[in-house]
Amino acid sequence: MAYIVPRPKLTFAEKMYLPSIVAGMAITFKHLKRMLKGETKVVMQYPEEKWDSNMPEHYRGAPTLVKDDHGRERCVACQLCEFICPPRAITISPGEIPAENKFAKVEKYPVEFKIDMIRCIYCGMCEEVCPEQAIFLRKDYAITGTSRAEMVNDKEKLYEMGGVFDGLIHKWNPKK
């Protein structure tokens, strides 16, 4: 059912718009004055200025793979993160470490480890489920790319982002 909207009756001053313009300009000049006096808090000048230094400790950014202080890649391709990942962003192809490798005792490693950052929801379940302390969510937040393929982080990229992590448990060291 159509109904008629009553139009407000405007006074002459209102029809001229002048009072509104004056009021608006007054606010603008008030802010100009405060800014010149240095009282206004300005927003961060992103991207010239980055968030990194202001990031809280618990921030969950891009998931990465880490190596330990022995230079060993922590991941043993148990595929638990692949299993737990809610958006199925992780794909792992497991393989056997060759006998001549100095970490051959660990036996298994990921031949390929891919995280599709278009799918990733930064939930941190992969870090939580990892029994090897191998995957950590770092503070990388500006994840961009110009194609879908570019948004898939492969093993090399993940280790480059993750780097070396100190102070992890060395459960694969020879038995004491």
Partner 1 sequence: MLNVQIDGVWLQFPKGTRLIEACSQAQKFIPRYCYHPKLTAPGNCRMCLIELGMPKMGPDRKPVVGPDGKPEIGWIPRPQISCAQDVAEGMAVRTDSPMVQECRQGVMEFLLINHPLDCPICDQAGECRLQEFSVEYGNSSSRFLERKVKKPKNIELGPRVTLDAERCVLCSRCIRFMKEVANDDVLGFVDRGSFSTIACHPERVLDSNYSLNTVDICPVGALTSSDFRFKMRVWFLKETKTIDVNDGLGSNITVGSRENVIYRITPRENNDVNGVWLPDSHRLNFKYVGASNRFKLPQIKAQPVDWRTAIAVAAEILKAHSSESIAMIASARMTNEELFVARLLAHQLNIAPERLDVLPRTGEPDGILIPADRNSNTTGAKLLGVSASEPGSHLPGIAQGVRSGAIKVLICFEDATKCGMTAEELSKIALIVIDILPNATSALASVLLPSSAWVEKRGSLININGRLQRINRAVQPPDQARDDWEILRDLLTALGGTNSLNSIEEVFKLMAGEHAEFAGLSLSKIGDLGVPLSLTPATATLQEAAN
> Which residues form the interface with partner 1 (CB under 8 A)?
76-80, 82-83, 94-96, 99, 105-108, 131-132, 171, 175-176
Distance CA 140, CA 162 (A): 10
Q: Closest CB to partner 1 among 109 and 159?
A: 109
> Tokens representing 93?
């192809």
Q: Closest CB to partner 1 among 61 and 132?
A: 132
Pinpoint the alpha helices (H) of 55-113. Answer: 80-84
Q: Closest CB to partner 1 among 66 and 80?
A: 80
CB of 75 to partner 1, least distance (A): 9
Q: Closest CB to partner 1 among 33 and 105?
A: 105
Residue pair 104/98 in contact by the 8 Å Cβ criterion: yes
| Tokens 């159509």 -> residue | 2
| Sign of the alpha-carbon dihedral angle for 18, 20, 25, 26 | positive
CB of 77 to partner 1, least distance (A): 8
CB of 101 to partner 1, least distance (A): 13
CB of 126 to partner 1, least distance (A): 14
Residue pair 68/135 in contact by the 8 Å Cβ criterion: no
Residue ranges of E strands in 57-107: 63-65, 90-96
